[in-house]
Amino acid sequence: MAFTFAAFCYMLALLLTAALIFFAIWHIIAFDELKTDYKNPIDQCNTLNPTVDRVKKIKRVRLALKLVLPEYLIHVFFCVMFLCATEWLTLGLNMPLLAYHIWRYMSRPVMSGPGLYDPTTIMNADILAYCQKEGWCKLAFYLLSFFYYLYGMIYVLVSS
Amino acid sequence: VSFSRAFESYNFKHSSARFSTCALSVRPFSVSSHPKHAHRAASESAQWPIYTSGDSSSTTTGSASPVPNSYESVEGGGYSGTSLQASLRHLHPYSQVLTLLSSALGGLGGVSELEAETLRPVNLLQERNILPPKHAPPPEPNLSNDLRKVNCSPDTFRCTLTNIPQTQALLNKARLPLGLLLHPFRDLTQLPVITSNTIVRCRSCRTYINPFVSFLDQRRWKCNLCYRVNDVPDEFMYNPVTRSYGEPHKRPEVQNSTVEFIASSDYMLRPPQPAVYLFVLDVSHNAVESGYLNVFCQSLLDNLEKLPGDTRTRIGFVTFDSTVHFYNLQEGLSQPQMLLVSDIDDVFIPTHDNLLVNLKESKELVKDLLNALPGMFTHTRETQSALGPALQAAYKLMCPTGGRVSVFQTQLPTLGAGLLQSREDPNLRSSTKNVQHLGPATDFYKKLALDCSGQQIGVDLFLLSSQYSDLASLACVSKYSAGSVFYYPSFHHVHNTAQSQKFQKDLQRYLTRKIGFEAVMRIRCTKGLSIHTFHGNFFVRSTDLLSLANVNPDSGFAVQMSIEESLADTSLACFQAALLYTSSKGKRRIRVHTLCLPVVSQLSEVFAGADIQAITCLLANMAIDRSISSSLSDARDALVNAVVDCLTAYRANGSNIQPSGLITPAALRLFPLYVLALLKQKALRTGTSTRLDERVFSMCELKSQPLLQIMRMAHPDLYRIDNMTEQAALHLNDSVIPQPPLLQLTAEKLTREGAFLMDCGSVMFLWVGKCCNETFIRDVLGYPNYASLPSNMTEIPELQTMYSERTRAFISWLLESRTFHPAFHVIKDDTSAKTSFFQHLVEDRTESAFSYYEFLLHIQQQMSK
C-alpha cells in the first residue's frame, strides 16, 4: 500500500466533487427560487417594490452565474489531474461532461463578462426548465462520481 | 411545454432551398400555369357567402374608438370621494355597420349555427375566394349573453383560442399555439375610473375583483382564478353609481371588465415621479446633413405645451458627436449654456443642477435652445458618434428620478463604450441561405437598458440613417427598457419628403401621446394555466410580472400560455392583466383588464374557436424569437410546420371529410394564406433583397405592435378606389364613406384601368394603372392625365370635387382608429417604385417564393409524408 499520485488525484477529486455537489444544489435552489417566486401569496410587496425586487433577483442570477465558471474550472482541473495520473477510465467517464461544459460555454448568449445566464431570457419557461433539469442531472452525476472516486481511491491505495 | 411540435423540434423537414423555383418575376396566377385552378376561381367567384351572421356583438359591445389622450380629459371632470366617470360612448364607425348588420340579421345566428359555420370544412385547393369582403370581426367566445356583454374588448385582449382546451394533451392534439395578445394601455374613450379606499382583491392570489367572480351571498365572493372565498368589505356594499347600499354586484368593478383604479399609497414605493423627458440628439456631420434637427426642434416647439405632465414636468437636452454636450437651462440665465464633456471614456455630469429643468419655469430658455439648436452645428466637421457615452450620461442624469429618454441617432456609433462595427455584407442581402447578425453584437446596450429599467428610465430610439447602423444591437436599449423603436431609412429632409413627413407626424404623436411611468404589469390566469413566454418590449421580472419603465399606448404584448393542470372541473377560464403605473399627472393608477373564455373538451370545439389573426401574430412573435436564437431558415420551417401540423391534426380528427384536397375548418381557412404572408414579410423573407436594418426593424415592429397593426403589416388590405359607389356605404354624421370590398393580394385583381389603395399599416400605396380613367386622375389627384402625374406624390390634394371628397373620406376613415399616420405614396405603374407595391402582393409568385397555390400544394405534399 503506497500513496501514489493517482491516489492523491482521487482524494483531491473527492474533495472537489463535494464542492461541486454544493454548487449543483445551490444552482437548483437559485432557479427554483426564480421560478416559484410568484407562489408567494402576499405578492403585494413585489408589485410595490420594483427596484428592490428586481435588483435582488438580478443579484441572485448573478451569483448563480458567478458559480458557473469556478464549477467548470474545478471540473477541468481534476480532469487534467486524471490525465496526468493516466487514469483513462475515470477520464473517459468525465469526458462527456467536459464536452458538454465546453459546448455550453461556447453557445452562451452574447455578453461581455464571463457567465452563462442572461437576465432577460432566464424567465422564459423553456430556459428555466432546462436550467433546472441541468441542475438535477449534474447533481446526480456528481453524487455518483463522488462514490466512484471514493471507490477508486481505495482501490488504488489497496492495489498498489 | 405548450407548443406545437413545429417549434420544439429542430427537424429540417423542408429546406428553404426548395422555395427557389424557376426564376420568374412577379406574376399573377395565370391560366397557363394553373388552368384548372384559374377556371375554378372564375366559376366559384361567389363562393364566400356567409360570414357575419351573429358574429357582430363583439365589436359593438366593447369597442370604443381610440382617441389620443382622451381619457385624461375624462379624468379632468372628477367627482369627489368615491367617483366614477363614464363618458359618452363613441362607437367606432365600423361597429355601427355591424350594429345595422346584426339588427338586420337579428335572430339568424345562434351559437350552434355559428360553431357549425366555423367548422364547415373548406377545401382550399378549390375555394379561391376565401378572403372576406370586409374585415371580419374576431370570433366570439361561446359564452352566455350576460358574460359576453361584459367581456373585455377584443381590441385590448385577445386569445388565440377562444375555446380553451381542457388539458395540455388536447391542446397538443390541436397543434395550435395558445396565447394572449394584449394592448393594455390603448387609448380609450370610455373608461370607468374608480377611487376608493380599499381596492377589493382576492386574499390568496391578489386578483382584482372583476365581472366574472361569483357572489355566494351578500357578504362573500369567490375568486374566479383561484376559487378562494373572500369577504366583501363594507365599503364595497355601497354603490356610488346608483347611490344604493347592499348591491355589491352592481358596482362598476363588477360591471366592467376594463376599469382603472386610483391607487393608494400602498401601491407606491416612493412618491410618484414627475414626468421627466430627456432628449439625446446626434449632432454629428451626418445628422446635420440629414436635416432632422430642424424637424425635431420645430416639432417639439409646436408641442411643448402638449407634452403630457403637470407643474412638476422636467425637461433636458444632451447632444453628442465625438463629445457629449449638456445644456444648462437654469431659470434666470439670459441664454442656455452649453457644457462640453470631452472625456468620453469616463463620462461625468458637469453640474448636477439645472440640466434637467422644470419646463414651466424655464420655458423661455427651452424655446431659445430649440430655436438655436439647428443653427449651432451647421458647420460641424465632426463625423464620429459617441452614442454609448451619451447614453451613459443620460442614464446618470435620469437616475434619481426615472423618466423617458428619447435618443435620435443617425449613424453607427463609432466612439467610446458601445462602439459597433459594420456587420452587413451587401452581397448577402438577397441570399436564400441564412441571414447572419440578427442578434446583438455586444451586450453593452442590453446591460444599459437593464440598468435603466431598474431606475425606471425608458429609452426610445429614433434611428434616421441611410447606412447600416446595426439596429440589432442598438434596439436592445429600447427592448429591455420598455421603449419603442422608430426607424426612418434614408431619411433626408429635402430628398426624401415622404420620410420627412412621416417623421414629423410620428413625432407629433410621440410627443403628445399618453405616457405611464414606473409601471409593472402582472398577468394572472385561472389556476391550471401558466405563462410560458412573453413577447414585446419589457424586462421580465418574475414568471408573471413585467417591468415597464415607461408604458405607451401604442405598444402591444403577446404571451404564450401552457396548461399545467387539467381544467376539467371548471367551465370558464379567465385572464387578468393589471397594469400599475404613474400617470403624467403624478397619480398612481391601476388599469385592469379581464377576459373570460369557455373551456371545452372536444377537439372540434377547439378548432371552431380558433382566432386566426391572433394565432398568426403569436406565431410571428415565436418565429422571430426562433430566428434570433436559432436561424432564419429554422424559423421559416417552423412556420410552415405549424400549418402542416395543424391541418394534419384536423384531418386526423375529422370523420366526414373527403380524402382529396386540402381541408381546413372555416375558422382556419386563412391560416395558410397568413403564414405565407408572414414568410414574405420583410422580417422573415429570404431571397428578396432586404437590408439588415430594415429586416431587424420589421422584427422589432412585429414584436411590439398591437395585433391589428401586425395584421396590416403582414397581410395588407387592398381596395379598388377609382370606382367606389355609394352602395353599402357608411353614413356617418353627414359624410358618406364608401366601402369597397377587400381584394386578394394578387396582381390578378389589378387592372390597368383602375386605381388601387394598399394599406400596409405604416405605409399606404396608391397604385395608378396606365389606363386609369382620367376623371379619377383629374378629380382626385389633380393632374390632367396619367402622363403628367409626378412619380413622387406623397399626398392626395384636397380638391372640391365629389370624387375627391369621397376618396378622402374613405382614406381618413381608414386612418381614424390609427395613432400613427402612415406614409403615403402614389405609385405609377411604370416607375421603379412599383416593386415596393408589388412585393406586398403575397399571393403571387416571386423569384424566390411560392405563389399561394404552390404553397398549398407544398403543404399538401408535406401532409402526405
User: What residues of B are in contact with residue A41 (Cβ under 8 Å)?
Assistant: 203-206
Model confidence pLDDT, tens digit, residues B591-616: 999 999 999 999 988 999 999 999 99
Q: How far is A68 from chain B (nearest CA, A)?
A: 19
Model confidence pLDDT, tens digit, residues B803-825: 888 899 899 899 888 888 888 88
Q: How far is B354 from chain A (nearest CA, A)?
A: 26
Q: Is B269 part of the contact surface with chain A (CB cutoff 8 Å)? A: yes
Q: Is B217 part of the contact surface with chain A (CB cutoff 8 Å)? A: no
Instruction: Give residue B100's pLDDT band: very low, low, confident or very high (50, 70, 90).
Output: very low
Question: What pLDDT is attached to residue B790?
Answer: 87
d(CA A116, CA A69): 9
Instruction: Give residue B759's pLDDT band: very low, low, confident or very high (50, 70, 90).
Output: very high
Instruction: Name the CATH code of domain B716-841 (choices 3.40.20.10, 3.40.50.10860, 3.40.50.1980, 2.40.30.110).
Output: 3.40.20.10
Question: What pLDDT is attached to residue B176?
Answer: 94
User: What residues of B are in contact with residue A116 (Cβ under 8 Å)?
Assistant: none
Best mean pLDDT range from A135-144, B130-139, B722-731, B788-797: A135-144
CB contact under 8 A, B442 and A46: no
Instruction: Give residue B28's pLDDT band: very low, low, confident or very high (50, 70, 90).
Output: very low
pLDDT of B564 > 70? The answer is: yes
Question: What pLDDT is attached to residue B638?
Answer: 94
- Mutating which of A33, A36, A40, A47 best tests the B interface, going by the most B Cβ atoms within 10 A? A47
Model confidence pLDDT, tens digit, residues B204-214: 889 999 999 99
Question: What pLDDT is attached to residue B437?
Answer: 87
Question: What pLDDT is attached to residue A60?
Answer: 56
Q: B443 with B459: CB under 8 angstroms?
A: no
From A54, A112, A125, residue closest to B541, measured CB to CB: A54
From B205, B480, B547, residue closest to A50, measured CB to CB: B547
Residues of chain A whose beta carbon is less than 8 angstroms from a beta carbon of chain B are 35, 37-38, 41-44, 46-55, 57-58, 109-112, 118-120, 123-126, 129
Instruction: Give residue B103's pLDDT band: very low, low, confident or very high (50, 70, 90).
Output: very low
Order of strands, edge to edge, in the sheet holding B179-182?
A: B157-159, B179-182, B557-563, B529-535
Model confidence pLDDT, tens digit, residues B278-308: 999 999 999 999 999 999 999 999 999 999 9
- Mutating which of A35, A108, A126, A128 best tests the B interface, going by the most B Cβ atoms within 10 A? A126
Domain ranges, ordered by start, for chain A: 5-159
Question: What pLDDT is attached to residue B659?
Answer: 63
Mean local confidence (pLDDT), B699-721: 93
CB contact under 8 A, B450 and A119: yes
Q: How far is B268 from chain A (nearest CA, A)?
A: 6
Question: What pLDDT is attached to residue A64?
Answer: 55
Mean local confidence (pLDDT), B612-632: 93
- Mutating which of A53, A120, A122, A130 best tests the B interface, going by the most B Cβ atoms within 10 A? A120
User: What residues of A are in contact with residue B455 (Cβ under 8 Å)?
Assistant: 51
CB contact under 8 A, A46 and B542: yes
User: What residues of B are in contact with residue A110 (Cβ under 8 Å)?
Assistant: 439-443
* Binding-face residues of B in 570-589 toward A, CB within 8 A: 580
d(CA B386, CA B390): 6
Instruction: Give residue B261's pLDDT band: very low, low, confident or very high (50, 70, 90).
Output: very high
- Give the distance, in angstroms, between the CA of residue A79 and the centroid of all CA atoms in the same chain: 15
User: What residues of A are in contact with residue B541 (Cβ under 8 Å)?
Assistant: 50, 53-54, 57, 123
Model confidence pLDDT, tens digit, residues B447-468: 899 899 989 999 999 999 888 9
Instruction: Give residue B554's pLDDT band: very low, low, confident or very high (50, 70, 90).
Output: very high
User: What residues of A are in contact with residue B530 (Cβ under 8 Å)?
Assistant: 125
pLDDT of B40 > 60? The answer is: no
How many Cβ atoms sit within 10 Å of the Cβ of residue B335? 12
Domain ranges, ordered by start, for chain B: 193-255, 276-431+442-512, 716-841
Question: In whole angstroms, how large is the CA radius of gyration of chain B?
Answer: 27
Cβ within 8 Å of residue A91, ≥6 positions away: A79, A82, A83
Q: Which helix (H) or strand (E) holds B356?
A: strand B356-358
Question: What pLDDT is attached to residue B434?
Answer: 79
Q: Is B265 part of the contact surface with chain A (CB cutoff 8 Å)? A: no
3-state secondary structure of B251: coil
Please indicate whether residue B634 or residue B1 has the higher confidence score (pLDDT).
B634
Q: Among B524-528, B727-731, B753-757, which stretch is predicted with the lowest mean pLDDT?
A: B727-731
Mean local confidence (pLDDT), B434-446: 88
| One pLDDT digit (tens) per residue for chain A, 160 residues | 567 888 888 999 999 999 999 889 888 887 787 777 644 433 333 333 334 444 555 555 555 556 777 888 899 998 999 999 888 999 999 999 999 999 988 888 777 767 677 777 777 888 888 988 999 999 999 999 999 999 999 998 888 6
Model confidence pLDDT, tens digit, residues B663-676: 888 889 999 999 99
Question: What pLDDT is attached to residue B785?
Answer: 87
d(CA A21, CA A138): 8
Q: B583 with B589: CB under 8 angstroms?
A: yes
Q: B281 with B391: CB under 8 angstroms?
A: no
Instruction: Give residue B428's pLDDT band: very low, low, confident or very high (50, 70, 90).
Output: confident
d(CA B794, CA B495): 13
Q: A38 with B544: CB under 8 angstroms?
A: yes
Best mean pLDDT range from B245-249, B592-596, B721-725, B814-818: B592-596
Nearest CA in chain B to A122: B540
From A51, A53, A123, residue closest to B540, measured CB to CB: A123
Question: What pLDDT is attached to residue A59?
Answer: 57
From B453, B533, B539, residue closest to A125, measured CB to CB: B533
Q: Would the pTM of this model clear 0.90, i.e. be above it?
A: no
Q: What percent of chain B has pLDDT over 70?
A: 86
Mean local confidence (pLDDT), B257-270: 90
Model confidence pLDDT, tens digit, residues B77-93: 333 333 333 333 343 44
- Mutating which of B542, B561, B591, B621 best tests the A interface, going by the most A Cβ atoms within 10 A? B542
Degrees (nearest 5) of the Cα angle B694, B699, B705?
115
Model confidence pLDDT, tens digit, residues B141-173: 888 888 888 999 999 999 999 999 999 999 999
Across the A:B interface, residue pairs with CB atoms under 8 Å apart total 88
Q: What percent of chain B has pLDDT over 90?
A: 49
Question: What pLDDT is attached to residue B95?
Answer: 39
Instruction: Give residue B802's pLDDT band: very low, low, confident or very high (50, 70, 90).
Output: confident
Q: B733 with B722: CB under 8 angstroms?
A: no
pLDDT of B101 > 90? The answer is: no
Q: Is B543 part of the contact surface with chain A (CB cutoff 8 Å)? A: yes
Q: Among A15-19, B322-326, B332-336, B713-717, which stretch is predicted with the lowest mean pLDDT?
A: B332-336
Question: What pLDDT is attached to residue B71?
Answer: 33
CB contact under 8 A, A50 and B456: yes
Region of B354 on the Ramachandran plot (φ > 0 left; ψ -120 to 50 alpha; else beta): left
Helices (H), chain A: 5-36, 44-48, 50-84, 88-106, 125-159
3-state secondary structure of B379: coil
pLDDT of B185 > 90? The answer is: yes
Question: What pLDDT is attached to residue B44?
Answer: 34
Nearest CA in chain A to B268: A48
* Binding-face residues of B in 462-481 toward A, CB within 8 A: 480
Nearest CA in chain B to A33: B542
- Bridge-based pairing of strands B755-759 and B220-222 is unpaired
Model confidence pLDDT, tens digit, residues B831-841: 778 888 999 99
Class of domain B276-431+442-512: alpha beta
Backbone φ and ψ for B559, nearest 5 degrees, come out as: -135, 130
Question: What pLDDT is attached to residue A127?
Answer: 85
Q: B279 with B300: CB under 8 angstroms?
A: yes
CB contact under 8 A, A120 and B1: no
Model confidence pLDDT, tens digit, residues B764-779: 999 998 888 888 898 8
Q: What homologous superfamily does CATH list for B193-255?
A: Zn-finger domain of Sec23/24 (2.30.30.380)
From A52, A54, A126, residue closest to B547, measured CB to CB: A54
Q: How far is A115 from chain B (nearest CA, A)?
A: 12
pLDDT of B24 > 90? The answer is: no
From A50, A110, A129, residue closest to B520, measured CB to CB: A50
3-state secondary structure of B758: strand
Q: B191 with B258: CB under 8 angstroms?
A: yes
Q: Is B198 part of the contact surface with chain A (CB cutoff 8 Å)? A: no
Question: What pLDDT is attached to residue B544?
Answer: 86
Model confidence pLDDT, tens digit, residues B513-544: 999 999 999 999 999 999 999 999 999 888 88
Number of helices (H), then strands (E), belonging to chain B: the values are 28, 33
Q: pLDDT averaged over chain B?
A: 83
From A44, A52, A111, residue closest to B443, measured CB to CB: A111
User: What residues of A are in contact with residue B268 (Cβ under 8 Å)?
Assistant: 48
Model confidence pLDDT, tens digit, residues B471-516: 999 999 999 999 999 999 989 988 888 889 899 999 999 999 999 9
CB contact under 8 A, B480 and A41: no
Nearest CA in chain A to B519: A50
pLDDT of B62 > 70? The answer is: no
